[in-house]
Structure 1
C-alpha cells in the first residue's frame, strides 16, 4: 500500500495513511449527507487556502501561547516517560495530533528514550485504522503504545479508541496537551486554550487532507495546491525550539466534573437538539467555522483566545452568546436541518 507523502521533516513521523483520490463534495451536500445519517468519513469538502484571519490567528496564538504549549509538551513528556518508561511508541491521530506527536518525539529522543512516532487515521463512527496500527506497533511492546492528539472536545475520539481496541493487546491510552473534557489518560492541562495549529488545517499538518474511507482503506490526499502556504516544518521547529528553553508547565490537577454534560445542557438552552451538533472547546469550535455550517457560538468570555471565533461568527452572520458558567472557553453549534 502506498502511503500519502507529507511535508513533515524526515524522522519526525511515519505517515501510515493510504494515498487515495479524495471523494469531494460541496459543503451543502456534506451537511445533507451527514443529516441523513452518513458518516463524514466518506467524503471531503475542498480545502481552500487559509484566510487572512486564520493566518493572523495562528501567528498571534504562536506568539501568545507558544511558550505555554512548549511547557505543556515538556509536562506531557515528563508524564509519559515516568508512566511508560524509556520505550515509547507514539501513535498520533491525524491531523491535529500529528504536530504534537512530532514535537514530543523530538523531546523524548533528546532524553535518550527508545521512541518511534507514526500517525494514522481514526474516524468517528468508523473507528481506528487497525491495519495501520499493526504496522506502527510491529516489533514494539504493546505496553509502550500511547495515542496522541491535540485536545479533547466531547471525548468522541476516546470512545472510538475504546471501541476499536476492545480485547486488543494495545490499550486505548490517549495523551493530549489540552483536556477540557477530562477524558484523556494523560494530559498537560485541563484548561481550554488555543493551540496555534487549531487555527489552520493542512498547512500545519504536512499538507495532508482530513482522512476518509476509500473502500475499506483509511486514506488521505496531499493538498499540493496549498504548498505556497505550508507552515508545517516551521511550526514544529518553532515549538521544538521553545521546548528546549521552557520549563515544564504546572501539573494539570483534578479532572473537571461533568463538563460534557454541562455543555450539552447549556447547548439545549440555545436550541440544540442533536448532541452530535454540539462542539465544545476552542479547537472544535474553530473546526465548525472552518469546515461546517455554524448555527451559533457560545463563549465563556471574550478573550484573546476566542477573539477569532467571534470574528468568524460575525463573518458567518451567526449569533454569539456569552455564558459565564460554560465549562469550556467556547462551544459552537452546527446548523440542524
Structure 2
C-alpha cells in the first residue's frame, strides 16, 4: 500500500542530514512560548501540554558545566548502553532495520544507535524522528511517510528512557489503532537507552543515571523543541510541529554530544553485558509510582515524574513542589540538587524506590497545594 498526499518534510534541526530525518513541521514563529506558571495553570484546567511550548532559555554557565562534567563522567557508560540496545535491535531486525526515534528525547539516542550499528556492521541504516504525544497518540502522517519507503516489519521505535512507561503504553495503543485502520502490523516494542521502570525488554541499562542529553533542552536535541499538536497550526496533512531554535546554532552542543559518545564505541566491550542481560519485564517502576502517589496523597498519577530524566524535565518545564531522592549523596543527582536549589524546591530522601529521584508536580485544589 502506498499512502498518497504525504509531503516531503522540510529540513530542520542542527544534526547532520545523514544522522536523522525529522518528520516534523517547522512552526517557528507560529506559536508564542509561555512561562511554566502559565502552562501549569492551563494544563490543570483541562488544557493539553502538546498545544503549548515552554519558554526555553539558554542554560547558565553553571548548568553547562554540569553537562560537560556529566558527559565526561558517563560517556563510556552511555556508549555501552547504546551498543547493548543496538545489538538487541540488530538481533531482532537485522540489516533492514529502520530506526524511528520518538522526538525529542529519543532523537539523540536513535542517532547513537544508528552510528554504532554503522560502525559495527559497515552499512547505512535509515533513521527518522517522529512525534508521539501522551493523550493524542503518534503522528500517523509520519508513520505513513516511513511506510512509503520501508517495510512495516523493519521499523524499530526508539526513545531515551522510561519514566512510568506512559509513552510505551501510548505506542502500544497507537500501533493497535494503526493496524485496525490500515491493516498494517508494526511492532510496538520500544527500545530505550535506560529502562529504570523495567517495562521494556530492549534496553541498554536499567540503571537510573543522568544521560547527558537529558541535562539540557533543545541545545542537545538538534535545536528542536518539544513537539506540538494544535488544530490551528497543524493541518490534517501536516506532520506534528516543532520549533527550530536557529538563534542558538553557535552554542549548540547536539553534535558535540553525539561525536563524543561515538568516539567511545571503538573501546566498548559489551559481550559480558549482553550475556548477563535480563530481558524480562517486571513493571517495577509503575508499582513504586503508585506507592508514592498514595503516600503523598496525589490524585493524578501524571503529577508523579520518576527517574532522573523525568525529574530534570519537571525542574526545567513544570512547577514541582517536592523532589524525592533515593540518596542525597547520589553522584547522578548533582544537577537535580542545583536546579532544585535555584527554584527553591525542597528535596526529601525517599529510600523505597529503585529510581534515583522523582519529581512531584504542584496541583492546586480549592486554593491549596495537593
TM-score over 0.5 (shorter chain)? yes
Counterpart residue number, 2:194: 178
**Inter-partner Cα distance in structure 1 for 2:21 and 2:234:** 22
**Inter-partner Cα distance in structure 2 for 1:93 and 1:200:** 17
Counterpart residue number, 2:24: 17
Counterpart residue number, 1:305: 332
Larger of the two Rg values belongs to structure = 2
Q: Aligned ranges for residues 104-115 of structure 1 at < 5 Å? A: 104-110=113-119, 111-113=121-123, 115=125
Report if aligned partners of 1:4, 1:221 keep a CA contact under 8 Å in 2.
no
Where structure 1 has 5 or more consecutive residues not aligned to the other structure, the ranges are none
Where structure 2 has 5 or more consecutive residues not aligned to the other structure, the ranges are 1-6, 365-370
Aligned to 1:305, the other structure's residue is in SS state helix
- TM-score, normalisation: structure 1: 0.95
**Inter-partner Cα distance in structure 2 for 1:226 and 1:284:** 24
Counterpart residue number, 1:199: 215
Q: Confirm whether residue 145 of structure 1 aligns to residue 145 of structure 2.
A: no
- TM-score, normalisation: structure 2: 0.87
Report if aligned partners of 1:86, 1:114 keep a CA contact under 8 Å in 2.
no
Counterpart residue number, 1:250: 273
RMSD, aligned CA: 1.7
Cα shift at 1:312? 1.5
Instruction: Report the count of equivalent residues.
Output: 337
**Inter-partner Cα distance in structure 2 for 1:188 and 1:136:** 25
Among 96, 101, 107, the alignment partner of 2:105 is 96
Among 351, 355, 365, the alignment partner of 1:324 is 351
Report if aligned partners of 2:200, 2:281 keep a CA contact under 8 Å in 1.
no
Counterpart residue number, 1:241: 263
**Inter-partner Cα distance in structure 2 for 1:82 and 1:32:** 46
Among 204, 212, 215, the alignment partner of 2:234 is 215
The superposition leaves residues 209-262 of structure 1 with CA deviations (integer Å, 9 ceiling, x where unpaired) of 111013344101111222232011111111111112211272442444532121
